[in-house]
Homo-oligomer: A and B are copies of this chain.
Amino acid sequence: MRDILKNCTRFLTGHIRQTPQQILTEISTVMDPDTVADVYGTGELIKSFERDIARLLGKKSAVFMPSGTMAQQIALRIWAQRKNINNFAFHPKSHLELHEHKGYQYLHQLNGVYVGEANRLFAFSDLRNLSIPISTLLIELPQRELGGLLPSWQELQNICLWAKNKGIALHLDGARLWECKPFYEKDYDEICAVFDTVYVSFYKGIGGICGAVLAGEPNIIAEAKIWKRRHGGDLVHLYPYILSAKHCFTKRLAMMEDYHQKATEVAHILREIPGIHVTPEEPMTNMMHVYIEGDKELLENRALQIAQKTKIWMFNKLAASPIPDYHKFELSVGDATLQLENTEIFDIFMRLVQ
């Protein structure tokens, strides 16, 4: 399998694959040679990047962090202390619940309260069922585990207005915020305006090595920097991540419309193939979940055969799905997807389900 992958030249999902050597060479080639290293969060490199991202999100201040896991726990802890309430509310399929070994609980003694149900976005009407006080309402835009779903603009504003009126802090899990712009047709500062704190990421759609930013009011961000140090995230040098984030941001932020357009085309193609479902039927961002009918192992083997013949890599593995006899994978459109003709995409999926 590794050999077949290694021989592939094109990829259905994500960006064009680069080796660490290619990435580091690219960064060191394009960067300003006079760049001075950041030192424990200080220096023009990190400060100017934080300022740029804060401005773009319409916030007064921002801090660069190694990860969103760190950034979001910190935001929740600060709000919990300010509101003197240890409960926060979130979607049952939030990254904090599924992928962080409950750090919010083990490190910060916070209680996560579910809003709505696992298989759909939460709605304004779900908020009535919140029976205990919460410090923060965490909203993920788009909801990654549901194939990149987004609430309508009006629904989002209703939810947020309800929270504001109750004195609840609003935190945006914007791991894929950049990918939302085509759907809302609004600038990032407009989308973020109603949120008190915003986390954004620089890999995923942007394709940097890693790194995150937390943005908000200056007093919140100043406190977040203290927590960043407590977490062990105030690294002596973050410049490899910052340089990569800056570079890829310049390269790809303007591509989000193209990724969304291609995702729409791919969804339309796949919907026509018997034995394939796509959700959402009309992609709201650059991503969708693709459901394929058939035996998991047989389909995975067939994808390997396709990869061997066409040198196009489709997916790593299939996951279980709620639809009987169907298995699924996440299809995120990136630079690599743009390189594939729609007819080629149609062909490889036809081979897969035949």
Contacts and interface: CB of A to CB of B under 8 A. Distances in A.
Interface of A: 19-21, 24-25, 27-28, 31, 33-37, 45, 65-71, 73, 99-103, 106-108, 203, 209-210, 226-227, 229-237, 239-241, 243
Contact of A232 (B45, B73, B203): B73
B230 A103 contact: yes
Nearest to A24: B28
Copies held by the complex:
2
A101 B66 CA distance: 18
List the 3 shortest-distance A-B pairs measured between CB atoms, nearest first: A70-B232, A103-B230, A240-B240
Contacts of A67: 232-235
A157 to B, nearest CB: 31
Nearest to A244: B240
A66 B34 CA distance: 26
A131 to B, nearest CB: 28
B25 A21 contact: no
Contacts of A73: 232
A240 B31 contact: no
A73 B71 CA distance: 18
Contacts of A37: 19-20
A232 B231 contact: yes
Contacts of A234: 67, 69
Contact of A21 (B28, B231, B241): B28
A253 B314 CA distance: 44
Q: Which of A34, A65, A232, A240 has the most CB of B within 10 A?
A: A232
Contacts of A102: 230
Contacts of A226: 101
Contacts of A103: 229-232
Q: Which of A20, A25, A35, A107 has the most CB of B within 10 A?
A: A20
Contacts of A236: 203, 209-210
Given A19-B33, A24-B24, A35-B20, A210 B230 contact: no
Contacts of A21: 28, 31, 33, 35
Nearest to A240: B240
Contacts of A107: 107-108, 230-231
29 contacts: A19-B34, A19-B35, A20-B31, A20-B35, A20-B36, A20-B239, A21-B31, A24-B24, A24-B243, A66-B233, A66-B235, A67-B234, A67-B235, A69-B234, A70-B231, A100-B229, A100-B230, A101-B229, A103-B230, A103-B231, A103-B232, A107-B108, A107-B231, A209-B237, A209-B240, A210-B235, A231-B231, A232-B233, A233-B233
Q: Which of A19, A71, A100, A230 has the most CB of B within 10 A?
A: A230
Contact of A240 (B65, B229, B241): B241
Contacts of A24: 24, 27-28, 31, 240, 243
Contacts of A233: 66-67, 70, 231-233
Contacts of A106: 227, 230
A151 B98 CA distance: 46
Nearest to A236: B210
Nearest to A72: B232
